[in-house]
Amino acid sequence: LCLGAYHQNNNNNNSSSSSSSSSSSSSSSSSSSSSEDEKEHKTLKVKKQLKRKKKSPKPDKKSGRSLSCSSDAAEGSATDSSDVVLVGDSGVGKSSLMTRFVEGTFRNQMFSTVGVDFCTKNLEVNGRQVSLQILDTAGQERFRSLGPSYYRGADAAMLVFDSSNRSSFDSCARWLDELRLAADRRLTIMLVANKADLPSAAVSRDEAERFVQEFGLAGFAEVSAMGSGGGVSGAFKQLLKLRLARDADNDVEKGGNGDGILLIEGV
């Protein structure tokens, strides 16, 4: 601001004294230095926050933001870590599912995700303390190119569609292709029908089950982030159990071979 005012005065009055110019320049330099100190302070603060998150991506203003999250286990007590990515069209309720699972609440007004949002939650699964990092990716076409960079580091994925929106289900095959092409190892993937509390379903359970069988997914869950959050917590925990079982070379993950379907009653 000081620098701009100095230039304006200099243009309107060419006879300004050198002492006035020197004073303005000094003020501008002081303001600039203060601004740089403030930026450096904010940068250090963000770096400290990210350092506490194991395996965290490095979000910026263009690619995403980190959310404040709660935990079921004490911080630093987790012995295992797992990254779960939420994938699907914009508006299917991915952000609402993450908020419901982490905070236990439902927000009536949610804004579209810009790039990616992520959150870490510590919980206990099968007697083991696990640090679960959830990555909520944007479903909008203009952010689609950002997805693969986050898919590569994921251990599991929720392929989400809106049970009242047929087109969101039809898009699942394309999202699945992108997931499997970008991943550096086989993902444990669960198909999730959100908004199952709505009376008019555009996709039947039988059709969803056939999709799971055809594409060899780990299972299928019908959930709702609204109300009591029917099935949301169970879906996340079951997906994590399947992922841990896969790493232990267990046969629990039948869906991966197309041998069976895991159904989770949500509502």
Over the chain (267 residues), the average pLDDT of each successive run of 10 is 37 45 46 51 44 43 44 54 90 88 73 64 86 77 64 90 96 93 83 91 95 95 81 92 76 44 54
pLDDT for the residue numbered 19 = 46
Note the pLDDT of residue 104: 82
Give pLDDT, residue 249: 58
SS3 264: strand
Residues making up the chain, counted from first to last:
267
The class of domain 80-250 in CATH terms is alpha beta
The pLDDT score that the predictor gives to residue 246 is 79
CA 219 distance to own-chain centroid? 21
Per DSSP, the three-state class of 85 is strand
Q: Which residues face 220 on adjacent strands?
A: 191, 263
Please enumerate in sequence order all residues whose Cβ is within 8 A of that of 57, keeping only pairs 6 or more positions apart, or say none: 63, 64, 116, 118, 135, 149, 150, 153
Q: Which tokens belong to 210? A: 């056939």
DSSP state letter for 108:
S
Pairing of strands 80-87, 156-162: parallel
Q: What is the pTM of this model?
A: 0.65
Domain residue ranges in the chain: 80-250
Tell me what pLDDT residue 77 has. Answer: 56
CA dihedral of 217, 221, 225, 228, whole degrees rounded to 10 = -150
> Alpha-carbon distance 196 to 65, whole Å?
28
